[in-house]
Each structure stands twice: as C-alpha cells, then as structure tokens.
Amino acid sequence: MSISVDKVENIFDIIEENQSIEEIGKTIFPKTKDKIPFVETIPWEEPYSEAGQDKRLKYLKNIRKTNMDYISGEKKFDEHEQLKGNIENFIGMAQIPVGIAGPLLINGTQANGDFFIPMATTEGALVASYNRGMKACREAGGISAVCLTEGVQRSPFFKFKNIVEVGFFAQWLVTKLDTFKEICSKSSRFAKLRELRTNAEGNSLIITLEYSTGDASGQNMVTISTNLICEYILKNSPVKPQDWLIESNYSGDKKATAISFSNVRGKKVTAEVVLSRNIIENVLKTTPEGMVGCWRVSTLGAIQSGAIGAQGHVANGLTALFIACGQDVACISESAVGITRMELTKNNELYVSLTLPSLIVGTVGGGTALPTQKECLNILDCYGVGKARKFAEICTSVALAGEISIAAAISAGHFVDAHKKLGR
C-alpha cells in the first residue's frame, strides 16, 4: 500500500505548459551569473605554506565578501554556549585541514555560477585530484545539476496479534492521514509529511513516514514528528499493538541500503557534463575511449564486489565537503551511494553523469552554525534558509568532478603517481 499525501514539489513542476525546450532550459537553469574569472595567479603553487594560505584567503575573502577568521585561525572559538545541541562533554576542537578547489562551474537549478569548494581532509592528493576534475568540467561549460526530489523517512514498527489486526490497523491509518499531517505541521515549522507507506510482514507492520524538511537535513525533526504521530496512534487506534518502536531500522538512517538508493533519502540529485576530446587530452591527459573503458571495468568491478550502486570514490569528495560544512558526516554511509555513467556521444565526446539518490544535507541546523562550518558554507553562499537544494547540487557536482578525475587518472596510469607525490 502506498498513499501519496501530496507530491514532493519537484523541480520539473516549474515548467509551464506550452513552453519550448529552450524556454524550459532557461527556466530550469537560469542564466548562469557572471563567472568568477579564473585567476591563474591564485597561488595554488604554494600549496602548504603560510604565505600561500594567506594569499588564498585574501583572494577568497575578496571574491566572496565573507569572513574566514575562524578557518584561518585568527579568531579562537570561545562561544561555548553555542555548542548546545552539537556536543556533550566538550573538551575542544578537532582541527581538520581545509583545502580549496575550484572554481567549479555549475549550471544548476539553484546552484548557478562558479564556486570555490572548501574540502576538509587529511588525505593528500584528494583536493588536487578534485581540482583537476573541476577544471576539466569548467572548460566544458560547467556541470548541469538538478535536485530531482527529496524526502526523509522515519519508519516506526507496530506488532499486533495477527494479520487480521494488521489489516484493520492499516485500513484505519489511511483515514488518518490529514490528522497526521496536521500533527506534523504543529511539531515543526519545516517538516512536512509527504507520504505514508506501509509494509506488512505477518503480524507486524512497518510504517514509513516520508517528510520534506525544509533546509535542514532533518533527522531530528522527523523523529519528533513521528513520535507525536505514534502517540496519537497509540491513543486512538481501534486496535492496540502488542508492541511498537519509533524506528524499525528500515528508514536507512546512517547506512547504505538498496531502498534508499532506488527511491530517495534526503535529496536525490543528478548531474551531467559533456567533455570534448580536446579537454580530455589536454586537462586529463587521457582519451574519451580510455575513460569509457575504465568506467566499464569499474562498473563491472562494483557489481562483482556486491556494492550498492556503482561509482568510483564519491565518498572522498562528499566527506571532505561534509566535514568542512557542518553536515552529519556519519550520513556519508548513505550519501555516498550512487551511480556514475560515462559513454561516448555520437561525436565521440565523453558524456558523464552522476546520480546521488540519498544525499543527506542541510544548510540550517546540525553543525551549520558553528564558526568554521558557517564560514565554509558562506564560501559557497549556502548558509541558512533556502540553500539546501543549492548545496545538494554543489555536492553532487563536486562528486562528479571527482569521478571524472579518478577515471582519468586510472585510465592514464597516473593514479599511482599522484598518490606517490601527494600522499603519505
């Protein structure tokens, strides 16, 4: 049984009837704002030195008109009360090095223009590798990215005496959808209950409540709303469950699962780019054919390894972004599951797409308001309300650039050199 409460608003809904493809293209991907000029003089060449750091900070501050006093270490964290809701038994701050990559040119529905990408990692070569992928994509005119849909789930569990009671209960549930939506809307300004699905197994029933969560990653708000709905159920259901639990471990929280991959969890984003032979040869030092061959091997390797989805190293880029930008890093488990595709176009250019169906991100709540996190989000103009889909499109575009770079490195035989030179 699947009952659509109301449809998650979808990017494609903004299309008006009778628009031409050209008009739609412009509607979906508004004219990319003036690109930040790619300043070759930005001193990437002093990758670790303090002088290099200062020059990069200055450059970024100038372009983005934002402070970076905490990242730079100028200011020391001392607003302890701000930590409430983020940590207990606080003893201090773990410091993770942040490198900057980009600019990454994105033609998204929300993310539009050139972006410098802050990546927090301790893995040498990672920033350099992503940077190279971004360069190739920018020369190709940028990555198109669309946040297709969204939904965060909680899946409470109810056990009854037998199947008959399950049926009776399920039938009753359906009649209460409006009530549940109302309960949800009272529990949070942002959470909206979108859909209720039931999954019967013998005398037990898993209910999946799927919410949109505004610009928060939303796991807490859906938990609180679901709890209130369950309280209502327990009080009002004409048939009393023998047992119930707020979560059946079916929602896919903090783990890679096939259902989150095939449906949605958080945001589902797809992104694409077409790279000319010229770019691939000059920037990536390989050929379209070499990259397609590498992709085929990599996809079959993923299948043979029993992976969920098939991609290269999405986890690398996402994790670096998540740490820098105050995301729930444990959600890398589900967020880094996706599918990369590379194929030759009829003109023998390289078409590349990446789809991430379970990207858990937010631009409010969680760790987003902490000092360095907020600064990193500001570099992306992604702090606060109205920015979550934009951030999701950036995340996916970054990961796509990384997929291109690693496939190029492996197909060209440069994979090892990079790690020898830049890793430890």
Residue ranges in 150-169 that form contacts with its own copies under rule CB under 8 A = 155, 157, 159, 162-165, 167-168
d(CA 262, CA 304): 19
Q: Does 52 bind its own copies (CB under 8 A)?
A: yes
Please state, in angstroms and rounded to a whole number, the distance separating the CA atoms of residues 424 and 421. Answer: 8
Instruction: Mark 200-229 with x for binding to its own copies (rule: CB under 8 A) and - for no binding.
Output: xxxxx-x-------------x--xx--x--
Peptide bond into 37 cis (omega under 30): no
Q: Under the criterion CB under 8 A, does residue 95 sit at the interface with its own copies?
A: yes
Which amino acids are annotated catalytic? Answer: 123, 328, 419
Query: Mask: binding to its own copies, 247-286, rule CB under 8 A, as x and -?
Result: xxxxxxxxxxxxxxxx-------xxx--------------
Least distance from its own copies to the Cβ atom of residue 193, Å: 15
Compute the least distance from the CB of residue 277 to its own copies, in Å.
Answer: 18
Please give the Cα distance from 192 to 210 (Å, whole number): 9
Question: In the complex with its own copies, which residue's Cβ is closer, 166 or 279?
Answer: 166
The residue range among 32-40, 127-135, 275-283, 386-394 that interacts with its own copies, by the rule CB under 8 A, is 127-135
Q: For residue 44, what are the contacts with CB-CB under 8 A and spacing of at least 6?
A: 52, 131
Inter-residue contact 270 to 396 (CB < 8 Å): yes
Site for its own copies in 326-345 (CB under 8 A): 326, 328-333, 336-337, 339, 341, 343
- Please count the CA atoms within 13 angstroms of the CA of 393 that sit on its side-chain side: 32
Q: Is 122 in the site for its own copies (CB under 8 A)?
A: yes
Rounded distance, CA 54 to CA 63, Å? 14
332's tokens: 């890398």
Stretch that binds its own copies, among 32-40, 148-156, 280-288, 381-389 (CB under 8 A): 148-156
Choose between 15 and 39: whose C-beta lies nearer to its own copies. 15
Between 107 and 279, whose beta carbon lies closer to its own copies? 107
Contact call for residue 372 and its own copies (CB under 8 A): yes
Rounded-to-integer distance, Cα 60 and Cα 103, Å:
11
Under the binding rule (CB under 8 A), the answer on residue 98 touching its own copies is yes
**Among 3, 6, 35, 348, contact with its own copies (rule: CB under 8 A):** 3
Side-chain-side CA neighbours of 390 within 13 Å: the count stands at 19
CB 350 within 8 A of CB 280: yes
Range 16-45, binding its own copies (CB under 8 A)? 21, 24-25, 28-29, 44
Please give the Cα distance from 319 to 316 (Å, whole number): 5
